[in-house]
Chain A
Amino acid sequence: MIDLIHVTKRFGATTAVDDISLSVAQGELCVLVGTSGCGKSTTLRMINRLIEHSDGEIHIDGQQIRAFREETLRRRMGYAIQSTGLFPHWTVARNIGLVPRLLKWPQARIRERVEELMTLLGLPVSEFADKYPRQLSGGQAQRVGVARALAADPDILLMDEPFGALDPITRETLQEELRALQGRLHKTIVFVTHDMDEALRLADRLVVMDQGRIKQQGHPLELLREPADAFVESLLGGEDRGLKEAALLPVSERMLPLSPRLLARERVAHDASLREALSIMLWRHAERLTVVDDEDLPIGELSLRRLVGAKAHE
């Protein structure tokens, strides 16, 4: 659990972060978004004291972060960044084992943990353990970066545009993996990104920043439906917000039970998003879809009218 209370950061005359208050609950994935230079990285780096805050208080589990030694504090938090920051002169295994080694875990336990993490992140141990970072693709390197951040099983993860340098497909894969990982590990995560789709896909709590201040925060749907001002609205996509919202809602939420009518020919999975359903309708020129479950058995139907009507914008 992370609390920022009236936190300010000044670099000389410029105020990079201006009196922000933010609370991230245990197990919550909090995403910071905003235009370049608005203070996202500064906010993140104040939490592990890579940057010291000028005013206000930052608490971890109710304790002031300044009560800890810097190193002790950082070893309790995972840290992953866009450039990966992997040590080029260390192998993948050694990179991942960094924090456990700093914490003086016994050798055998470190090795066990490294192998566990490599498996968790889809990096076959026999293939990757002895490789050097320069021998990895961008996606593999980011996986190693995330594994390294998770190594000592920290409660808190700080991630600064970790997927920023990847192609859209790899990026989406890693986003899904992060969501799945989060479903199992329930870390408290602060995640910085430029990419609004990434933010909406990942966030439990979305924080919009502008010029060092928090403009609005809350669940992504909340922000989409009720943006506080024009800035938040345009950042969230302006006219595209309808599609972005549809991308967050599952088909199952809007489907109707099967009617006695003939089954519609085109199908959609019950856990697909409304956006995908709409896309299928557009593509297939269909106004009605059959909703199927995991076994591909029909469990309901979704009409175009129902789909758009469901987005209660009254």
Chain B
Amino acid sequence: MPEETPRPNIVLWSLLLAALPAWLGLDAVSVAPNRIVPGSGHSAAEVAGLPGLVASLVPALAVLWLAWRPTRERLRLALGLVVAMLAALPAWLALAAAELVDPALPQARMGIGGGVWVGLFLLLLALIELRTRLTLSRPLGWALLLVPLASLALCLSLWLEPLALRREYAGRSQQFLAAIGEHLLLVGSAVGLSLVIGVGLALAMRRWPRARELGFAVLNFLQTIPSLALFGLLLAPLAWLSARVDWLAALGVSGIGWAPALLALVGYSLLPMVRNTYVALEEVDPGVVDAARGMGMSRGQVFRQVRLPLALPVILEGIRITSVQAIGLTAVAALIGAGGLGTFIFQGLGQAAMDLVLLGALPILVMALAADALLGALTDLLRPGGAT
């Protein structure tokens, strides 16, 4: 089709126009001689000097220019530039580290400042916008992210040792891996348990309509209790139980630790799980079910071959919501000694060490995004009759 000159892409313009002052005005990095002393901030101009600053602005201005008349080819070019900028960011940090951190001080560290965070965030949004405009598939969008990630991995292993985040990690790499394991285990078992219980409850509600209102009332109520309060509420009964029942104590159940965390997580996960499963099974086209029975399928066959497959995308949607929610909530569970990445967040908050907080928060963010993306893709895959 003949391409008319399209209107300027407002989204890209807003994103980049917001990124530029942040990059120019906010501290890009901060440097401290050791962990105790607060760092001193440095702007992007200080790091690379005027030529470096200009060099860093060129691709951004080019994207602005391309977004003014966003034809497909120009948007593709802009996409390339955004990916390149994302990939250049770790390299730029490595440069800053070499420039600013005194190699003679083994404890010296460099923190990432507001300028870089804002830039990173806005560039990622620009990437999403471009992916949507160019109607690239979800997997391709994720594949594009691999380029900056590879660059990050390379820079981390070679030059970014002074990065505060990395220093925090180096001090507790064992703990870090263990925390990720605990976090995943808690989330996995909470989602798994609530899936089993939730499907059971949804089936029971379908069979006994009386149970439905009561069930949803209880689950809705559970959802409204703040998570810390729920942990607190579970403390006494669980402590009492573990004191009375030997095998529970042997399992490690007590008022604090993984047991109340798991219980609370399951409690919160049940509502989205039950609601989605129930609605999914209930909303299968009655005409289809009528035909299935009229053709002579048994109740079991109708359920397994018709109702369940047609409900599956919506049930998966429930699993997706539950997983993302549980990944976040598990962070709070660290407060009652359940372990997981939340441990770093609360330690960091206690020690006013923001980089330690980040060490806990960033992987949680990545996990949530990954769970969202994976389960979302799976849902699309399972839509009846192939892709919609």
Contacts and interface: CB of A to CB of B under 8 A. Distances in A.
Contacts, number: 72
A88 B385 contact: yes
A48 interface: yes
B294 A85 contact: yes
Given A89-B309, A89-B385, A134-B385, A81 B296 contact: no
Contacts of A98: 295, 297
Nearest to B310: A89
Contact of B288 (A45, A71, A85, A148): A85
B296 A74 contact: yes
Interface string B292-305: 11111110010000
Contacts of B289: 85
The CB with the most chain B CB atoms within 10 A, among A85, A86, A135, is that of A85
A75 interface: yes
Contacts of A74: 293-296
A228 interface: no
Q: Is the interface of B mostly helix, strand, loop or mixed?
A: helix
Interface in B362-388: 384-386
Interface string A99-134: 100100000000000000000000000000000111
A85 B287 contact: yes
Contacts of B310: 87-89
Interface residues of A, number: 29
Contact of A75 (B291, B296, B384): B296
B297 A81 contact: no
Q: Which bucket holds chain B's interface residue count?
A: 20 to 34
A237 B70 CA distance: 64
Nearest to A48: B294
A135 B297 CA distance: 25
Interface in A57-75: 70-75
8 contacts: A74-B296, A75-B295, A79-B291, A85-B285, A87-B291, A89-B309, A102-B296, A102-B301
Given A84-B287, A99-B295, 16 more contacts: A45-B294, A48-B294, A74-B295, A75-B296, A81-B290, A81-B291, A83-B287, A84-B291, A85-B294, A87-B288, A87-B310, A88-B310, A98-B295, A102-B297, A134-B385, A145-B291
Interface of A: 45, 48, 50, 70-75, 79, 81-89, 98-99, 102, 132-135, 145, 148, 158
